[in-house]
Structure 1
Amino acid sequence: MHDLVFGWRTAVLSVAALVILPIAGGLWSTLANRTANRDLALLLVVLVGVFTPWLIGFAGFYDRWRWLTFLPVAVPLLGPPLLWLYVEALVVGETPRGAGRHLLPGLVQFAWLLGGFVLPLDLKNRWADIAMQPGDLVFSLALIVSFAAYGTASWRRLVAYRAALAQGRSDDSRFAARWLTRALAAGALLAAIWTVYALWDLVRPLDYKGLMGLYVGVAAIAVYLAIEGWRNAALPFPPLRDLTPEPPAQERDWAALGQAWREKIRAEGWHREPDLSLRRAARRLGANTGYVSRAFNQGLGQNFSRTINALRCEEVAERLTSAPAGAILDLALEAGFSSKASFNRAFRERYGMTPQAKRRMLEGLKS
């Protein structure tokens, strides 16, 4: 009987699995963003399954228990659609209709592996010689296509969501579009690593150890998604439908309306509310969201977020010379900004300089 050997390869992959699986369990039971977090939990389990054959293989499990050959746990075709479903659930607020059909290629891959796994031991080698190699090639090519298709769809959804956030929220920088950007970047990196290894293996077949780099990469990206996904599990995501303005019923003098409503918001101090939304502002102005959105976009040439942040920057600028030098961040928070980063970005966009440079300029004009 072969002895089990727990070398560095098994240790690296085991540590990754021990980090990922408890987090996946926590994500599954999280109440906030419940549907999305369950999609992410499933994705993490799938990624652990992808490198599990290497984890146990390097330890000698297959040599000791030959019946484990073709253990059907590595189903990477489930990965890209699950990442897309995660994005959809966060952005749209619900699972897309007919989502199950996107998992069918992965289920076919699972059935293919299961068919080899349940064969009698004396037939497994013959099955590997006849069918497994061409099957692996087909599934590898399908995975590359899947990465490209679902990655593109996810990125387009994120771009649309970012635009909608800027149209419908004054605090759009608070929300998790940045986390989704990093998650999709991790998915793109995984796709690139997998594609390189798949093409390399096609041109010059790699042995078991030669593929170790791929599975270390899978494990590392899965650990990143697990930790960052847990950190951002409860981050608020306004549903896309709530960010879409109602269409205006008729044409108006949008420039005049935009200026009047901008001044009304300034006079009432509504811009100081960090979570001011287009819907809330429109209700207070006695108009629908379509009118207000059109007035700012078409009349003033800027979206809702830029309009409100410009008012906040103007308030800070008015108070710069009368406040102590170290109180700029306090002024920004009082004006409605939720972070130093969003304030600095908006201030530079409004005035073309940093707050400190603006202070020096104003003090120079006074002297």
Structure 2
Amino acid sequence: MLEGLVFGWRTAVLLVAAVQLLAIAAALARSMVNRAANRTLAVLLVVLAAMITPWIIGFAGFYDRWPWLTFAPFQISLAVAPLFWLYAVALVTGAWPRRGALHLIPAAVQLIYLSGCFLLPLEAKWAWSDRSDLAYGVLTGSALIAGFAGYGRMSRDLISTYTAALADHVGDDHRYAPRWLRNAMIAAAILFPIWAGYSITGLFVPVSYHAYMGLYLTIAGVALFLAIEGWRHAALPFPRLADLATPAPAVSPGRDWQVQGQTWAEAIRMGGWAAEPGLTLAQTARLLGTNSSHLSRALNDGLGVNFSTFINRLRAEAVAAAMADQPGHTLLDLALAAGFSSKASFNRAFSERFGAAPSAWRARLTS
């Protein structure tokens, strides 16, 4: 049954990647938090696992052993870019956009085309493959590049908008800032035009089958990065973008926002409210007896900082003061007591506030 098949290192490496992608996809599909986003990511991971499947079985000799596998509808490349964008939208808004499924029409057409070709008799498959490969490769390659350009730009704008909104409303915005999405998007933006270039070049210039191994290893690597980061953040209750919108404050003629900002800043400092890890703009406004829009304007226009920067400066200052008063405590203990939720966010905020790493600052104090 397995005569003529060769299970070498290429098949093994890609197979391990595909199995991991499918395992994470199965786990994400059962997640009850961020359901729309996690299920979208699960579908995307299945699509990416399917993308490398022809090379898994091809390197093993499946197509030589069973030539009827020609046109098997594994590579639905036109689904990748819209699914990535739909995942980003669902992550920050809680749901797909209205008529979001329409963005998958090109992928559906690609699936129908490949499925139709797959059902042809073997001789007809080969004849059609010889006649259609060039046009199919050019069309899908061009659509792939256009899709990643368009959906990449929309994803970038969405992530930037969400990151800015987080900084204005949440003190520990780093927990929710989807930097991993931006990194995956950058990797994909580099990868997929190269991928399309490989496909189109192969239609005009003979390219060794094994020469594609580096490309598909890269595809598997990008997919695994997205899968692991998506799983790490799967249960994190992301604030919804709509909830982060701040209405414009009512016009207050003659109001000095700088003075107001300084007054409220001192009240926040004296109240020690920054020590609350999950502190938000709305909570702080309620404590001050005002509303979110006025507090946001006092910080942005009056003090020139967003909410996150302001709160994390207060926390960094609290740690700096505690270093002298509590020399026996570790930096992490002091950071957590001040309201930081992670060492990374503490190091970043402290360095921005004092121009030195926390350990270097403590060393100065002790010396």
Long gaps (5+) in structure 2: none
Which residue of the partner structure matches residue 350 of structure 2?
347
Equivalent pairs, count = 364
Match of 2:46, as an amino acid? V
Structure-1 separation of matches of 2:289 and 2:111: 56
Deviation of 1:176 (Å): 4.3
Secondary structure in 1 aligned to 2:211? coil
Deviation of 1:12 (Å): 2.1
Distance verdict in 2 for CA 1:144–1:297, change over 3 Å: same
Deviation of 1:31 (Å): 1.0
Structure-1 separation of matches of 2:296 and 2:110: 47
Compare 183-192 and 213-222 and name the one that shifted more: 183-192
Structure-2 separation of matches of 1:10 and 1:360: 53
Asked if 1 retains the 8 angstrom alpha-carbon contact of 2:262 and 2:303, the reply is yes
Match of 2:261, as an amino acid? G
Long gaps (5+) in structure 1: none
Distance verdict in 2 for CA 1:344–1:8, change over 3 Å: closer
Asked if 1 retains the 8 angstrom alpha-carbon contact of 2:166 and 2:177, the reply is no
Which of 337, 340, 354 aligns to 1:337? It is: 340
Structure-1 separation of matches of 2:197 and 2:179: 27
Secondary structure in 1 aligned to 2:352? helix
Which residue of the partner structure matches residue 304 of structure 2?
301
Deviations 1:212-269 (CA, angstroms, capped at 9, x unpaired) = 3322222232233223322222123111112221210113321122112111212222
Distance verdict in 2 for CA 1:198–1:129, change over 3 Å: closer
Structure-1 separation of matches of 2:361 and 2:14: 53
Secondary structure in 2 aligned to 1:320? helix
Structure-1 separation of matches of 2:134 and 2:211: 17
Structure-1 separation of matches of 2:263 and 2:364: 30
Distance verdict in 2 for CA 1:361–1:106, change over 3 Å: same
Structure-1 separation of matches of 2:100 and 2:341: 36
| Equivalent residue runs for 1:248-263 within 5 Å | 248-251=249-252, 252-263=255-266
Which residue of the partner structure matches residue 150 of structure 2?
149
Which residue of the partner structure matches residue 89 of structure 2?
88
Which residue of the partner structure matches residue 129 of structure 1?
130
Verify: 1:59 aligned to 2:43, yes or no: no
Compare 240-249 and 58-67 and name the one that shifted more: 58-67
Deviation of 1:199 (Å): 5.3
Match of 2:336, as an amino acid? L
Distance verdict in 2 for CA 1:205–1:282, change over 3 Å: farther
Give the alignment's TM-score, normalised by structure 2: 0.92
Give the CA RMSD over aligned residues.
2.2
Deviation of 1:27 (Å): 0.8
Match of 2:39, as an amino acid? R
| Equivalent residue runs for 1:1-367 within 5 Å | 3-198=4-199, 200-201=201-202, 204-251=205-252, 252-324=255-327, 326-359=329-362
